[in-house]
Structure 1
Amino acid sequence: MKLLRDLITAALIAGAYPAAVSAGVSAIDGSEPERQARWQEISAHIFGDRPIEAGGDLITIEAPTRAQDPALVPITVKVLRKDEVRAVHLVIDDNPSPYAAKISFGPAGDPSEIKLRVRVNDYTNVHAVAETSDGKLYQTRIFVKASGGCTAPIGVSDAEALKDVGRMKMKFGDRDHPKEATLMIRHPNFSGMQMNQVTRLHTSARYLDRIRISYGEETVFELTGDISLSSDPVIGFTYAQSEQGEFTIHARDTRGASWEQSFAVPARMNE
């Protein structure tokens, strides 16, 4: 089981076709010690031998206990001492490729809250790891019941899913939440594990692997993603700047396609 799962993960990270998708990979439904062993294996792969401490007073994670749609599971990560954190890592332990996202914050960033929609393939722990400015790691987790999020079909043909790919929209907070924004990007984020409902063949992996948001000349954050991000990603975030300005979004996918778009912050945000 471990070897098969690792082979699938390696293939997905490399962008290869996951031929083992129908080979019988199932959830780790075992005991808490088994889940802890799984986390130790994953965290060692991502962070090496760096110690990871409990982060209850630094970072929290919110998600539904049982997901209504495993392909669109809302995740909210909150950082309680924002000035100490330079990056947040999101890990979905029992997804075929567990390392869902790394969000690295820049001078215009505010890690107080970030919201994502993700795919969850099995009953699993979801970990959020805060990385502080001095390189220390703090983790928290939540258990989510879901199944099949990475294999769930898009619901339309591949051509339709790719229509207007890269198109972006932004929503901005109101007067009570002036430093909040939401980015929406049109992209199917094909996981490589989904079957085309017309051809009955698996669609090759193609997903957004880099999203950078700037405010003026300064970076808000850079997100490195994987197959666990949902189709048509929606990212809610907070930011530090207060003066009138403009967001610029750069996005890239694993086929080498890239897009850029700018959005002016509405004047009412700065009144």
Structure 2
Amino acid sequence: MRLALSLCLLLAQPAVADVQNPLQPSEAWPDIRDTLIADAPDPPIDPGQLLLDAPARADDPAVVPIHLTQPPGAAPIERLVLVIDNNPAPVAADFTFGTALMPLDMEVRVRVNAYSDVRAVAWLKDGRQVMAGRFVKASGGCAAPASKDPKAAAAEMGQMRLKAAPADDGRTMATLMIRHPMSSGLQRDQVTLLDIPAMFIDRMEVRQGDAPWLTMSAGISVAEDPVFRFAVTPGTGPVTVHAEDTDGHQFDQALTLN
């Protein structure tokens, strides 16, 4: 009887992920909001259209996983802006999506430089805007030392891999990995102690044949060696990736989803 009562109480409680790190009042957000959506009010937080999951306290502030999902029946997303309110450059990435990625199930790794709200603002195909977010406790992510020797990182820069696995909803879970130091401009060489100039992938396009999967315009907050994990309904033809960084390097590769 006692066990049954305990189970009932446990099931009656909300999921921990729903309450452990909601968005907090943010002094930085009003200015960021005005830049994104002019003087419009905050987009509503609507779990029926968009969810954002992030750790309440990051294990590594330079590699914080952000998981963006939509429940069944949600309206397709045309554009999504990922914002880290208290980062030096708050807009981490601006994404557009093709229909092959709808409903959205995507994870990206970012740097968090100070305790901050991490939020996503989405423009839906039906014309609405919605928002989702979490408050993440982390500090120093944008200035954290690179994990690799600079020469090794330069030698690998632009290499790509695409892996596939079954997704829970019957689609394919694709994992795109790109080698790049994503230097933020706030890091120091651990040998010379000189500042490392900013150099990061700021544009990326992923397609399969003529069908767009996603595009990204990014800033300094995307983590070193970017990894994008997303559910997709595959079409036909090779998957092509085009990426450009702020130093003018261009990386193009045709990949097989397997």
Normalising by the residue count of structure 1, what TM-score does the alignment of the two structures yield?
0.80
Decide which structure has the larger Cα Rg and report it: 2
Pick from 195, 207, 215: which aligns with 2:188? 195
CA distance, structure 1, for counterparts of residue 49 and residue 23 of structure 2: 25
Is residue 40 from structure 1 mapped to residue 36 from structure 2 by the alignment?
A: no
Listed as ranges, the gaps of 5+ residues in structure 1 are 1-31, 267-271
Letter of the structure 2 residue corresponding to residue 139 of structure 1: M
Match of 2:77 in 1: 85
Is residue 223 from structure 1 mapped to residue 216 from structure 2 by the alignment?
A: yes
CA distance, structure 2, for counterparts of residue 110 and residue 72 of structure 1: 25
Pick from 46, 59, 67: which aligns with 2:58? 67
Secondary structure at the residue paired with 1:159? helix
Task: Give the superposition deviation at 1:234.
Answer: 0.5
Task: Give the superposition deviation at 1:231.
Answer: 0.2
Letter of the structure 1 residue corresponding to residue 65 of structure 2: P
Question: What do residues 85-143 of structure 1 show as CA deviations (whole Å, max 9, x unaligned)?
Answer: 11221100101101001110124332421100100000111001111124431111101
Structure 1 contact 193–202 (Cα < 8 Å) conserved = yes
CA distance, structure 2, for counterparts of residue 39 and residue 192 of structure 1: 23
Letter of the structure 2 residue corresponding to residue 230 of structure 1: A
Letter of the structure 2 residue corresponding to residue 235 of structure 1: F
CA distance, structure 2, for counterparts of residue 33 and residue 59 of structure 1: 14
Match of 1:186 in 2: 179
Pick closer, same or farther for the CA change 1:33–1:179 going to 2, 3 Å.
Answer: closer
Considering only aligned residues, what root-mean-square deviation do their CA atoms show, in Å? 2.0
Alignment of 1:6-25 (within 5 A): none
Task: Give the superposition deviation at 1:244.
Answer: 4.1
Structure 2 contact 23–117 (Cα < 8 Å) conserved = no
Match of 2:199 in 1: 206
Structure 1 contact 191–207 (Cα < 8 Å) conserved = yes
Letter of the structure 1 residue corresponding to residue 38 of structure 2: G
CA distance, structure 2, for counterparts of residue 60 and residue 33 of structure 1: 12
Say which is worse superposed, 171-180 or 116-125, in terms of deviation: 171-180
Match of 1:264 in 2: 256
Match of 2:118 in 1: 126
Task: Give the superposition deviation at 1:54.
Answer: 2.0
Letter of the structure 1 residue corresponding to residue 191 of structure 2: V
Is residue 55 from structure 1 mapped to residue 46 from structure 2 by the alignment?
A: yes
Normalising by the residue count of structure 2, what TM-score does the alignment of the two structures yield?
0.84
Number of aligned pairs? 234
CA distance, structure 1, for counterparts of residue 167 and residue 196 of structure 2: 44
Structure 1 contact 191–206 (Cα < 8 Å) conserved = yes
Structure 1 contact 70–121 (Cα < 8 Å) conserved = yes
Question: What do residues 180-231 of structure 1 show as CA deviations (whole Å, max 9, x unaligned)?
Answer: 2000000000000001111111100000011111011110010111100000
Structure 2 contact 184–220 (Cα < 8 Å) conserved = yes
Structure 2 contact 50–68 (Cα < 8 Å) conserved = yes
Listed as ranges, the gaps of 5+ residues in structure 2 are 1-21
Pick closer, same or farther for the CA change 1:53–1:163 going to 2, 3 Å.
Answer: same
Secondary structure at the residue paired with 1:108? helix
Letter of the structure 2 residue corresponding to residue 54 of structure 1: I
Structure 1 contact 82–112 (Cα < 8 Å) conserved = no
